[in-house]
A and B are shown apart, each in its own frame.
Chain A
């Protein structure tokens, strides 16, 4: 029997990795990948709790997270393509036109 908190700690570690990746890396696609890591970590938490309490709604929620992640990845990548076309670079720091 695996204690619940192992899963939760694992998910927290994965989440941390995702967060760190998000603002340590400069490549846009790597940012998107880090977001996927984070979402996955959250999915793991949901499933762990759902298994813990015996409620199916946790897994339903994961289902929806998956759908949203798919949509977001699609649109995000389209944006990346558009940005790359304009700037010839995938450096996120190049896209700072909204500065003061």
Chain B
């Protein structure tokens, strides 16, 4: 059976699920909703897997597989198809999206079981799957943008899922608006692409770009401008500096949402886009440098904030921002395949960590503050074990998936032509931070004495099987994912690899960073638990800057939000809308009313006046005819 003929079903299947659950969901039972929701994704996964395996055996000449379904826009010179492209990159992405997505759908049947908006949740989740799959399967920039917008919309819907809570709706709005700023960059990039290459189709654009000259650093040529604008879009969607501010707030949404959208799939759309546009970025080293620097900067910045966070989900959120920084660092160093490799491993362990956190929250009856936890490993053994696997993976402990991908990133950074060593150092430091805060999280949550009272939490229980099984599967993926030669499969050759001794030295450095983080975490929270408090009070100012997230939200508020609000309220609303527009419309009404008020005096009621009018009119008409 030729799976490539069924490509269209991969996004359409969850779309159908969304429609059915959205329209009929109120009347269906929870099990039916769950089966539809998860089943459609499972179907997509099966087809993706089949297409993927088929593609592995296909000869290179048959690649990439393109299916154009219909002509979407044909306007003068502009031509955009509704078409899908299946190659190694998109094949891997659909597997990740549908695979992790399916596990999270199953998890959600357990997690959201007591929620009254159960059907709505699955409808939105399926809609998200549709948008994301369209994004990665698209064969032109415009269709990718459709998916791009769709995932932004679903993110808004799902973050604000509990719409009764003001903080949730605010977070949803923030996410959407900040994303919009990035989308503006993406749109400009698409227009520039069309203007330069006369097409938005991947095949045509990349073929044409290969013949463009290499643009030197420091000069912003056309291709550099395109790449920079696309990167602006990526910073919005993938939460890099300066547009990352929505991701921590997005933790207001249910935990499966955080796992799926804000860890495994949506936030990786930016990385995917850059990897897809590799041909363009290769022509613009300046843009690549910007990507690498922003990625590295974001990585350490977010990691530093995560050091002091006390909400279990916020730690993971900042960790996500930081790990995304790593992916961009890899792409910026020219090693796109390594970035995608880290995308895949990150999808596994971050989803695992989020789902584990969800399990903890579920078991603790809604508490998210790790200061109120402790000693949970006895009460929730399976959650603990899988969370441990995830922590080891993200920290880069050798043997697990995270180690392989992170190590390759650091190696690629070292090899990077511009400022490579500085980037490597930043990455290494971030790795140390990552290890530290993750182990801190693990220790404070699962080890030590219970810091919660029976009054706070009535009955700490392990989660049901529907939630635990996905955790176990993801844990297996976190371990074994690194052994598949994904970079090689994606066509990565470490061509400018240094001598093997250098490689070993770098590997040793990253292992050392990971172990140092683990040791310091053990020191601070197991051996000498009074030290953190002492350090915090000692470096008081610095500590408070960190806990307040460098006051970035406040700065944005003052510089951007407040002026906009004031302008909107004082000028645009009070003057333009109320005075000018309403004034004009009401003014027209007033003019008509006044003129009618004047004209009505014609109706005096006196017959003789009417007769006079008749006479006047008659004279006029007769004069006209007799002229």
Whether the pair A98, B603 counts as a contact (CB closer than 8 A) is yes
Per DSSP, chain B at the interface is: helix
CA distance A62 to B607 in the complex (A): 27
CB-CB contacts of B265-308 with A at 8 A, as 1s and 0s?
00000000000000000000000000000000000000000000
Q: Which of B487-495, B570-578, B608-616 contacts A (4 or more CB under 8 A)?
A: B608-616
Whether the pair A22, B611 counts as a contact (CB closer than 8 A) is yes
- Contact-residue bracket for chain B: 10 to 19
CB-CB contacts of A19-45 with B at 8 A, as 1s and 0s?
100111010000100000000000000
- Contact-residue bracket for chain A: 10 to 19
Whether the pair B611, A99 counts as a contact (CB closer than 8 A) is no
* Interface presence of A92 (CB below 8 A): yes
Whether the pair B615, A96 counts as a contact (CB closer than 8 A) is no
Whether the pair B603, A19 counts as a contact (CB closer than 8 A) is no
Whether the pair B605, A98 counts as a contact (CB closer than 8 A) is yes
Q: Which of A66-100 contact B (CB under 8 A)?
A: 92-93, 95-100
Whether the pair A100, B608 counts as a contact (CB closer than 8 A) is no
Chain A residues positioned under 8 Å from B615 (CB to CB): 19, 23
Whether the pair B605, A96 counts as a contact (CB closer than 8 A) is yes
Q: Which of A31, A93, A95, A99 contacts B603 (CB 8 A)?
A: A99
Q: Which of A19, A22, A24, A92 contacts B606 (CB 8 A)?
A: A92
Chain A residues positioned under 8 Å from B607 (CB to CB): 31, 92, 95
Most chain A Cβ neighbours within 10 Å, of B601, B604, B606, B615 = B606
Chain A residues positioned under 8 Å from B612 (CB to CB): 23
CA distance A99 to B615 in the complex (A): 20
Whether the pair B608, A99 counts as a contact (CB closer than 8 A) is no
Q: In chain B, what residue has the closest Cβ to A28?
A: B607
Q: In chain B, what residue has the closest Cβ to A97?
A: B605
Chain A residues positioned under 8 Å from B611 (CB to CB): 22-23
* Interface presence of B600 (CB below 8 A): yes
Q: Which of B582-627 contact A (CB under 8 A)?
A: 600-609, 611-612, 615
Whether the pair A100, B603 counts as a contact (CB closer than 8 A) is yes
Chain B residues positioned under 8 Å from A95 (CB to CB): 605, 607
Beyond A19-B615, A23-B612, is A100–B606 a contact (Cβ under 8 Å)?
A: no
Most chain A Cβ neighbours within 10 Å, of B604, B607, B612, B615 = B607
Whether the pair B603, A23 counts as a contact (CB closer than 8 A) is no
B533 to chain A, nearest CB (A): 86
Q: Which of A23, A96, A100 contacts B601 (CB 8 A)?
A: A100
Whether the pair A23, B605 counts as a contact (CB closer than 8 A) is no
Q: Which of B601, B602, B603, B608 contacts A92 (CB 8 A)?
A: B608
CA distance A99 to B605 in the complex (A): 4
Q: In chain A, what residue has the closest Cβ to B599?
A: A100
CA distance A98 to B607 in the complex (A): 10
A94 to chain B, nearest CB (A): 10
- Spell out B's residues near A (CB within 8 Å): 600-609, 611-612, 615
Closest 9 CB pairs of A and B: A99-B605, A96-B605, A100-B600, A23-B611, A23-B608, A100-B603, A98-B605, A92-B607, A22-B611
The 21 sampled A-B contact pairs (Cβ below 8 Å) are A22-B608, A22-B611, A23-B608, A23-B611, A24-B608, A26-B608, A92-B606, A92-B607, A92-B608, A93-B606, A93-B608, A95-B605, A96-B604, A96-B606, A97-B605, A98-B603, A98-B605, A99-B604, A100-B600, A100-B601, A100-B603
* 15 extra A-B contacts, CB within 8 A, seeds A23-B611, A96-B605, A99-B606: A19-B615, A22-B608, A22-B611, A24-B608, A26-B608, A92-B606, A92-B607, A95-B605, A95-B607, A96-B606, A98-B605, A99-B603, A99-B605, A100-B600, A100-B604
